[in-house]
Amino acid sequence: MDELTQTYLDYLIIEKGLSHNTILSYSEDLIRFLNFLEKNKIDTIHGVDTTTILAWLIDLAKNGLSAKSRARHLISIRGFFKFLLNEKIILSNPLKNVDIPKTGLSLPKFMTIQEVSDLLDVPDICKPRELRNAAMMEIMYGSGLRVSELISLKLQDINLDANVVRVMGKGSKERMVPFGSQAGNITQKWIKQGRPALLNGISTPYLFFARGGKPMTRQGFWKMLKKYGVLAKLSKNITPHTLRHSFATHLLEGGADLRSVQTLLGHSDISTTQIYTHISRDYLIKMHRQYHPRGS
């Protein structure tokens, strides 16, 4: 079984192009699962059935793992058995009828459109540093970027004629993401006016930067967002992920299909994107009641 797990991890690295941290997480989950099998004297993958999986989940719970952690382990093992099934190493998947533990996937926090508008209106764009902050928030919300993707952007990655940005996402996968005219206009102003003023003769390849032309840290961007959230008098705790989640939710509420949102977010698996449908369900019910002839 060690050989099978190594083959699977090689597949994730070579075929899926997953990041080092993601591979490490999968590896740790698989090792814990294999240790459970060994403890229960199951020495072949063909000896694993649905009962085994349920017993393993119970064991995880007994060892103090939360529903969210158990869900993550289950997703890791699901991927492993799906791989084995596709490779015809096993003939049936023992996880087929095993549900993810309830509350295992917490819903992402997001802002309303008005809250986003209030947040984006806070910076004083007459000041170079504030102009930079406004452009960063506009691009993040306009394109749904991860914070790591945002702070890594180079000047050459943005095309203001086409309003698209080239992003290097997880697993070194490149994608092109569009953004709206508001994000484009303020970013253009940043590049022409604010950026040269802050650089003051220093050279840097980064689109957005901190002191000395160095890239901004994730913590630095998070602190900036937190400050603006307070100034905008938002009751929610605003994080970089909140803007990304708001981007996805607002697209779905506006009628975008799940596959398109998956592509824009850079998710390799649509199941990762499907979590946003839970958020939009209330909106869909509201729209149905409002517009359907028999909705009320």
Residues whose CB is less than 8 angstroms from the CB of residue 239 and which lie 6 or more positions away in sequence, other chains included: 109, 222, 225, 226
pTM of the model: 0.61
Q: Does the pLDDT of residue 72 top 90, yes or no?
A: no
Q: Do 30 and 124 fall within a single domain?
A: no
Q: Do 170 and 268 fall within a single domain?
A: yes
Domain-located, residue 13 = yes
The CATH number of the domain where 176 resides is what? Answer: 1.10.443.10
Q: Count Cα neighbours of 120 within 13 Å in the Cβ-side half-sphere.
A: 19
The model's confidence at residue 107, banded by pLDDT at 50, 70 and 90, is: low
* Structural domain boundaries, residue 230: 113-287
pLDDT in tens, 170-199: 777 788 888 888 999 999 999 999 999 999
Q: What is the percent of the chain with per-residue pLDDT over 90, rounded to a whole number?
A: 38
| Rounded Cα–Cα distance for residues 206 and 55 (Å) | 51
- More confident site: 179 or 271: 179
The separation between CA 280 and the C-alpha centre of its own chain, rounded to angstroms, equals: 17
Tokens at 22, concatenated: 């993601």
The alpha carbon torsion through 218, 219, 224, 229 (nearest 10 deg) reads: 100
Q: Do 54 and 140 fall within a single domain?
A: no
Q: Do 238 and 138 fall within a single domain?
A: yes
Task: Could you list the beta-strand ranges (E) of 107-179.
Answer: 158-159, 164-168, 174-178
The model's confidence at residue 220, banded by pLDDT at 50, 70 and 90, is: very high
Q: Do 163 and 264 fall within a single domain?
A: yes
Q: Does the pLDDT of residue 105 top 60, yes or no?
A: no
Query: Which residues on adjacent β-strands are paired with residue 164?
Result: 159, 178
Q: Pick from 45, 70, 86: which residue ends a domain?
A: 86
Domain-located, residue 229 = yes
Domain-located, residue 102 = no
- More confident site: 206 or 169: 206
Residues involved in catalysis: 146, 170, 241, 244, 267, 276
Domain-located, residue 96 = no
Q: Does the pLDDT of residue 168 top 60, yes or no?
A: yes
Domain-located, residue 105 = no
Residue 236 confidence (pLDDT): 85
Q: For the residues 79-94, what does the mean pLDDT come to?
A: 90
Strands 158-159 and 164-168: what pairing?
A: antiparallel
Q: Do 58 and 123 fall within a single domain?
A: no
Domain-located, residue 295 = no
The model's confidence at residue 259, banded by pLDDT at 50, 70 and 90, is: confident
The CATH number of the domain where 46 resides is what? Answer: 1.10.150
Residue 296 confidence (pLDDT): 47
Lowest-pLDDT range, 70-84, 179-193, 262-276, 279-293?
279-293
Q: Do 157 and 220 fall within a single domain?
A: yes
Domain-located, residue 107 = no
Domain-located, residue 192 = yes
Distances (CA, A) of 96 to 54, 70, 238: 12, 16, 37
Q: Does the pLDDT of residue 102 top 60, yes or no?
A: no
Q: For the residues 90-103, what does the mean pLDDT come to?
A: 76
Q: Do 177 and 282 fall within a single domain?
A: yes
Q: Do 176 and 130 fall within a single domain?
A: yes
What is the domain count for the chain?
A: 2
Q: Do 171 and 49 fall within a single domain?
A: no
Q: Do 178 and 277 fall within a single domain?
A: yes
Q: Do 69 and 124 fall within a single domain?
A: no
